[in-house]
Structure 1
């Protein structure tokens, strides 16, 4: 009987480790997609943008695998307490990370739209916003693997900086459009890029809240959300 129990525990640990590995891989792909889509946008490189769009399928496939494994663990291993919270959190986090990948793909899709624009001064402001959101994704997936509730809180706190960046970019883009009506189309595309980055920050924060719950068994308080000045949420 002891052998069976030991085998069951070992198999359960292997399943959990695989679940964590899949989530970590999803995080790495999402983080790379953010950086690669922004690089393609700044360089106006449609070939690089196409690669980002095509690679999104890898995230979709990993989400399906996480869902399959999580259901298998719950059905066959009947996890309790901390382990159950981690499995449920992984299931929800996979969906959030997949959405982050979709937002990065949306940014890549804007490359073709601005490819022929001659001057896009506000474009120089977006890489820093992308860097912050990419770091949030990296930090929050590390927090999940390490079950680090403090790091999860730090990610939530960084979301305010992303919101402030978005509001600042909105004002800059509005000025850019007012200076010359010919800038309106290009600036609108950049505004949607900024909004996608802001939503990535929101989703990273949602992941952080799930990580905190999985690690502590308690929920983080509802965080304040700034108003979206153009209603793009």
Structure 2
């Protein structure tokens, strides 16, 4: 019975890795377009978002079956329960990346000093998503804490973008569409970072039994 449970956990880990990889891919495809001054392929990105949403449903189903059939206790119960919560945040990452692609596809965002800061945000968030999944798979408490700490970089970059955009609004050469779209995109990136932090906190719960979730979007 234990061997069967271990096999189910391994499958769960593999599926979470795959879902996390899809989230990395959708972030990359969405923001690579900005970096290369191209419009994103929203159809491809929409397909990735749908795949991520389907994986959420599949993993949820697997977790519920494990809970009902194996009735795990203690740490095993926390592991499965955490996975059940984590897939929601992964799904939101996919959804928000797609929403960003739709904004970028309007073609209003142009090369600027704010865009350089945004790229730094994107790099940090992609790393946070990767680390949060790795932390779960390897039960790495230190890596999960690293994800949470790294969120400060994302928040600082978001604050910097807001300051730069305020300066833009004060100037006579303001491109309003660029400023508004960039602000919306940077807010979505900040939210993606928040979801990575939530995943890291669920990892810590699975390992330590201590829960610290803000309960935001």
TM-score by length of 2: 0.92
Residue number in structure 2 paired with 1:184? 176
* 2:61 is equivalent to residue 68 of structure 1: yes
Residue number in structure 2 paired with 1:144? 136
Does the aligned pair in 2 maintain the 1:41–1:49 contact within 8 Å? Answer: no
Mapped to 2, the partners of 1:198 and 1:79 lie a distance apart of 35
* 2:149 is equivalent to residue 157 of structure 1: yes
| Mapping 1:3-42, distance limit 5 Å | 8-42=1-35
Change in Cα spacing, 1:20 to 1:117, as seen in structure 2 (3 Å) is: closer
Does the aligned pair in 2 maintain the 1:120–1:186 contact within 8 Å? Answer: no
Q: What count of residue pairs does the alignment treat as equivalent?
A: 216
Mapped to 1, the partners of 2:110 and 2:23 lie a distance apart of 30
Mapped to 2, the partners of 1:175 and 1:25 lie a distance apart of 42
Q: CA deviation at 1:10?
A: 2.0
Residue number in structure 2 paired with 1:4? none
Q: CA deviation at 1:154?
A: 1.1
Could you list the per-position Cα deviations for residues 84-119 of structure 1 after superposition, in whole angstroms to 9, with x for gaps in the alignment? 000000000000011011111111111222x26666
Counterpart among 72, 91, 106 of residue 98 in structure 1: 91
Does the aligned pair in 2 maintain the 1:103–1:196 contact within 8 Å? Answer: yes
Does the aligned pair in 2 maintain the 1:41–1:107 contact within 8 Å? Answer: no
Change in Cα spacing, 1:38 to 1:180, as seen in structure 2 (3 Å) is: farther
Residue number in structure 2 paired with 1:230? none
Residue number in structure 2 paired with 1:228? none
Could you list the per-position Cα deviations for residues 42-63 of structure 1 after superposition, in whole angstroms to 9, with x for gaps in the alignment? 3343353432222111101110
Change in Cα spacing, 1:47 to 1:36, as seen in structure 2 (3 Å) is: closer
Counterpart among 165, 168, 174 of residue 166 in structure 2: 174
Q: Which has the larger radius of gyration?
A: 1
TM-score by length of 1: 0.86
Q: Name stretches of at least 5 consecutive residues in structure 1 with no aligned partner.
A: 1-7, 226-232
Q: Name stretches of at least 5 consecutive residues in structure 2 with no aligned partner.
A: none
Counterpart among 213, 216, 228 of residue 208 in structure 2: 216
**What value does the CA root-mean-square deviation take over the aligned residues?**
2.0
Mapped to 1, the partners of 2:143 and 2:109 lie a distance apart of 41
Residue number in structure 2 paired with 1:3? none
**Structure 1 residue matching 2:211: 3-state secondary structure:** coil
Counterpart among 102, 115, 123 of residue 115 in structure 2: 123
Change in Cα spacing, 1:69 to 1:117, as seen in structure 2 (3 Å) is: closer
Does the aligned pair in 1 maintain the 2:114–2:165 contact within 8 Å? Answer: yes
Does the aligned pair in 2 maintain the 1:27–1:138 contact within 8 Å? Answer: yes
